[in-house]
Amino acid sequence: MKVSLECYDCLGRLICQAARLATSDEPLRQKAVEKARDVLNQEFSGEQISIAIATKLHKVIREITGNPDPYRIVKEDELRVAGELFSNVKVQYKNTINDCIKLATVANAIDFFRSLDAVAEDMQRPVKFTIDDSQQFEAKLKKASKVLYLADNVGEIYFDLPLVKRMRQLVDVKYVVKPLPVQNDATVEDVKEAGLEGEFGVVITTGVASPGVILDWASEQFREEFEAADLVFAKGMGHYESLSELPGQGKVFYCLMAKCRPVANSLGVPLNSYVAMLR
């Protein structure tokens, strides 16, 4: 998905947020913001995707502030709130593939630009997909051998687990996280800190600290796994923004909440719609 004009303002907000979280040193914060804005102005064009630009912005801010994980405190709060919510929310869903997809997707309401109170309120509501290819996904799942599950925000991992376990009864599933911190995305260390190490079976990484996944930047191992997979379960807007640039093969299943207008417009759905789309 190529950037729209609205993406420029959002990326500007991202710069300020990341710099504020990265350091309390005001001169250093200002320097990081200025350098990142220079990168934004250099990189922003109608041929770019926002994920690629965001990756470069985060790199600049980490390097200037010396903070390798600016969103650490945000992730800790998300894990705590998500862990508390999971017990209450999961009882609304059965242990079927379809319901586990809904349970996994409801957690995509989590977003670092939204308050956790607003997120918690959304997650208490039943999921209704505006685009719903769940049945097609389940039909393909029954014929598949290998599935990649691309994780998104750290708080979502509790909600991913029931679906991963359910799919592992049918196919080989690899759970994919980031190798190093970027935004509030889940990493191997986050899975360990949540006490879920071993619960997901095989956990691999994309090989690059970027929101979503840009195949040209990913590790050779991940690219091979992506190519070999019969199905790719892609959580969140970042994966849609990056992978939707690839030719449709009918194997990538996007599950997300369309939390911004550019993504909602690209999908042709109202803002804050839940989407389960196979492409």
Domain spans, the chain: 5-65, 93-278
**What's the pLDDT score for residue 115?**
81
pTM of the model: 0.96
- Per the prediction, the chain carries an average pLDDT of 96
Cβ pair 157, 186 in contact under 8 A: yes
For the cut 80, the answer to whether the pLDDT of residue 196 exceeds it is yes
pLDDT at 81: 87
Summarised one tens digit per residue, pLDDT across range 146-155 is 999 999 999 9
Q: How confident is the model at residue 119 (pLDDT cuts 50, 70, 90)?
A: confident
Reference 151, options 196, 116, 118, 115; nearest CA is 196
Read off the pLDDT of each residue in 114-121 and give the average, rounded to a whole number.
80
Per residue in 93-114, pLDDT tens?
999 999 999 999 999 988 767 7
CATH code of the domain occupying 93-278: 3.40.50.10880
The CATH fold assigned to 5-65 is Helicase, Ruva Protein; domain 3 (1.10.8)
| pLDDT band (50, 70, 90) for residue 171 | very high
Instruction: Using DSSP bridges, classify how beta strands 146-150 and 252-257 pair: parallel, antiparallel or unpaired.
Output: unpaired
Percentage, residues of the chain above pLDDT 90: 88
**pLDDT at 111 (0 to 100):** 78
* Arithmetic mean of pLDDT, 215-240: 98
Check residue 112 and give its pLDDT.
Answer: 67
pLDDT at 238 over 90: yes
